[in-house]
Structure 1
Amino acid sequence: MMMNNKNAVQDILLREDASGAVYLTLNRPDKFNTLSEAMLSALQHELEDIAADPAVRCVVIGANGRGFCAGHDLKEMRANPDQAYYQALFRNCSRLMQSIVTLPVPVIAKVQGMATAAGCQLVASCDLAIAAKSASFAVSGINAGLFCSTPAVALSRCVSAKRAFNMLISGEFIDAETALDWGLVSDVCEDTGLDAALAEKVAQILSKSPAAVRYGKSMFHSQRQMSLADAYDFAGHVMAENMLEPDAGEGIDAFLGKRQPVWQQPGH
């Protein structure tokens, strides 16, 4: 597969584009890829660029080094002991997490090593998460006197209330298999098989109708905030719109004709 290398504005975040998939790699391995101000800004910039590009069909967020992400940069935070600074920092982080959810295409977290605090929040915010068996997860701010309030928002939308609160109040780590059982990640694989498992999932997404995937992601997250009746009304409206797309007609005709569908490519 031909890949075009494209560095982000700063080397702390790397970007590769390949056949409709974008790979963003946190690149502060010596700092366990903490979400510094610069990292948050670089990620936000890339997500906004991706959101405006109809050719992108899937995004992967991974990381270099032994750990996925250790959360916020605590040294940077301690160097700025000001409430306005902290509110701006957490506002920017929250904006980033919401940008992942509202991105028109699926976002997959590729997790190796530990994902803690805002790093765990990052995993929870992604649509899918594939974790190496040795990966571990925690919202451990409580151990440093800080309840992980903003990570709790994303975590509690993946994990049951009691399990999420137990993680938040204890600061204890859970392993990858537990994260899978609790719903924090979608797949777990052997450490040596992480790249292959990710490639298989990306290929699966890219094999689907680009239009249907975009309809589906937007609908799925929107309906979760609605009452049951409103969700069904909304889903029916979206599905009717989706049915009018050329890909839906092509997909149904292909199914009836026992052949492979040929999807309309974005921008054509």
Structure 2
Amino acid sequence: MSVAEELEAGLVLREDRDGIARITLNRPRAYNALSLGLMAALQSELEKIATDQTVKAVVIEGAGKGFCAGHDLREMRSRTDEAFHQTVFAACSQLMLTVTDLPQPVIAKVHGIATAAGCQLVATADLAIAADSTRFGTPGVNIGLFCSTPMVAVSRAIPRKQVMEMLLTGEMIDAETAVAHGLINRAVPETGLEDAAQEMAGKIASKSPLVLKTGKKAFYRQLEMPLADAYAYTSQVMVDNMQARDAAEGIDAFIEKRAPEWKGE
């Protein structure tokens, strides 16, 4: 199936409700492997969400038995030319950057498996909640393809020794270990996964969209700065934030002991 055909096949499903965009990766028979078509569809949907002021939070999940098994290896082997492989990995890298740069917080709702680029997507998401039966891994070393691009996100989410063990052995970790490593926020019984993800997304969606956008952008920018630069940068962010209408409204509402009315400005 060509990329154009896949784009027409409903590879990404979206449902919006109460300020939350629910995005479903929809290649269940392939464990939602990231074909070029699926990545293009997800990229397109995220770009639409970025400018949609009605969306305050995003949940990404997978259809079928697992969240995402990484790149589509059959597609990868269908072409042997270097240019094609460059296209695939460039598309995936751009997709991950889009998740990070998205104004709205992104929650990965994970079940079954999240491996290789699927684990990368979990690590890239701002928050992640998983069924306690979920397994995570970067198993590329087992098939002769080191998980180099997944490593970028995973190594920024969990400590060095733990990620090196995952990368060098290719062994899977369970959800309890993923929580301990910091790859995901929490693990819950699979029967409670939907409610837990909805509760987390709902809490976020109840906040000022301007403040969410401001805070997410500042968080990732300051991480890459030296300490003094980070304080200088975030101090100015707070100064700018204090000039916003929602900051005045939020502080007044707190003082007056009432619920704030956010305008996103």
TM-score using structure 1 length = 0.94
Change in Cα spacing, 1:17 to 1:180, as seen in structure 2 (3 Å) is same
Shift of 1:55: 2.1
Residue 3 of structure 2 corresponds to none
Residue 139 of structure 1 corresponds to 138
User: Given that residues 246 and 264 in structure 2 are in contact (C-alpha distance below 8 angstroms), is that contact kept between their aligned partners in structure 1?
Assistant: no
Q: Say which SS state the counterpart of residue 188 (structure 1) adopts.
A: strand
Residue 52 of structure 2 corresponds to 53
After superposition, what is the alpha-carbon deviation per residue over 1:29-71, rounded to whole angstroms, capped at 9, x for unaligned? Answer: 1110000010010011111111122222111100111111000
Q: Quick one: distance in 1 between partners of 2:54 and 2:139? A: 38
User: Given that residues 60 and 107 in structure 2 are in contact (C-alpha distance below 8 angstroms), is that contact kept between their aligned partners in structure 1?
Assistant: yes
Q: Say which SS state the counterpart of residue 137 (structure 1) adopts.
A: strand
Shift of 1:84: 1.3
Equivalent residues in 2 for 1:29-108 (5 A)?
A: 29-108=28-107
Runs of 4+ in 1 over 6 A off after TM superposition: none
Query: Residue type of the partner of 1:198?
Result: A
Whether 1:166 and 2:165 are equivalent positions in the alignment is yes
Shift of 1:83: 1.2
Query: Residue type of the partner of 2:154?
Result: L
Residue 235 of structure 2 corresponds to 236
Shift of 1:19: 2.3
Q: Quick one: distance in 1 between partners of 2:9 and 2:248? A: 44
Shift of 1:206: 1.2
Residue 221 of structure 2 corresponds to 222
User: Given that residues 65 and 111 in structure 2 are in contact (C-alpha distance below 8 angstroms), is that contact kept between their aligned partners in structure 1?
Assistant: yes
Q: Quick one: distance in 2 between partners of 1:13 and 1:56? A: 17
Number of residue pairs matched by the alignment = 259
Equivalent residues in 2 for 1:10-29 (5 A)?
A: 10-29=9-28
Query: Residue type of the partner of 1:27?
Result: N
Residue 155 of structure 2 corresponds to 156
Q: Quick one: distance in 1 between partners of 2:45 and 2:136? A: 25
TM-score using structure 2 length = 0.95
Shift of 1:105: 0.8
Q: Quick one: distance in 1 between partners of 2:217 and 2:11? A: 29
Shift of 1:260: 1.5
Q: Say which SS state the counterpart of residue 257 (structure 2) adopts.
A: coil
Whether 1:187 and 2:186 are equivalent positions in the alignment is yes
User: Given that residues 29 and 64 in structure 2 are in contact (C-alpha distance below 8 angstroms), is that contact kept between their aligned partners in structure 1?
Assistant: yes
Which one is further off, 203-212 or 69-78?
203-212
Gaps of at least 5 residues in structure 2 are 1-6
Gaps of at least 5 residues in structure 1 are 1-7
Q: Quick one: distance in 2 between partners of 1:207 and 1:14? A: 24
Shift of 1:104: 0.6
Q: Quick one: distance in 2 between partners of 1:9 and 1:59? A: 22
Query: Residue type of the partner of 2:165?
Result: N
Query: Residue type of the partner of 2:26?
Result: N
Q: Quick one: distance in 2 between partners of 1:177 and 1:54? A: 36
Q: Quick one: distance in 1 between partners of 2:37 and 2:212? A: 31
Q: Quick one: distance in 1 between partners of 2:8 and 2:239? A: 41
Equivalent residues in 2 for 1:116-135 (5 A)?
A: 116-135=115-134
